Amino acid sequence: MVLLSFHIKMQAKDRFLLEMIKNTLGYGNVYFQHEKRPNHTQCYRYTVASHRDILGKIIPFFEKHPLQSTKIENFKIFCKIAGMVCNGEHHNQKGIEKIRLLKSKMNRRAR
């Protein structure tokens, strides 16, 4: 099963920025994410889980207003996966394997 979910994660001190994003876009949720890993700080997440909102609002918004950070590469991969889901490719093993491969390329730190 493949579920699309869009997240922006920030430290607790920047929660107000996530609230501004939520209020500007008019959908999604902001919540506290308890972090158990010792080398990570506590944070908040802005999350959109509706396929309709992701495909119809999130992707078009960030295509019109591109990210100005290294996360742009993650977004491009996310868009490929979303397109595959939209085309129904997640309903077969070959599509799921391709999605897994693409996902594994996301959120890699530069070395």
pTM, full prediction: 0.82
Q: What is the pLDDT of residues 39-49, one digit of tens each?
A: 777 799 999 99
Alpha carbon distance, N-terminus to C-terminus of the chain: 32
Dihedral sign, Cα of residue 70, residue 71, residue 77, residue 80: negative
Q: What is the pLDDT of residues 51-62, one digit of tens each?
A: 999 999 999 999
| Concatenated DSSP letters of the chain | -----EEEEEEGGGHHHHHHHHHHHT--EEEEE---STTS--EEEEEE--HHHIIIIIHHHHHHS--SSTHHHHHHHHHHHHHHHHTTGGGSHHHHHHHHHHHHTTTPPP-
Q: What is the pLDDT of residues 10-35, one digit of tens each?
A: 988 999 999 999 998 899 999 998 87
Domain boundaries, the chain: 6-104
**CATH code for the structural domain at 6-104:** 3.10.28.10
Half-sphere exposure of 84 (CA within 13 A, CB side): 24
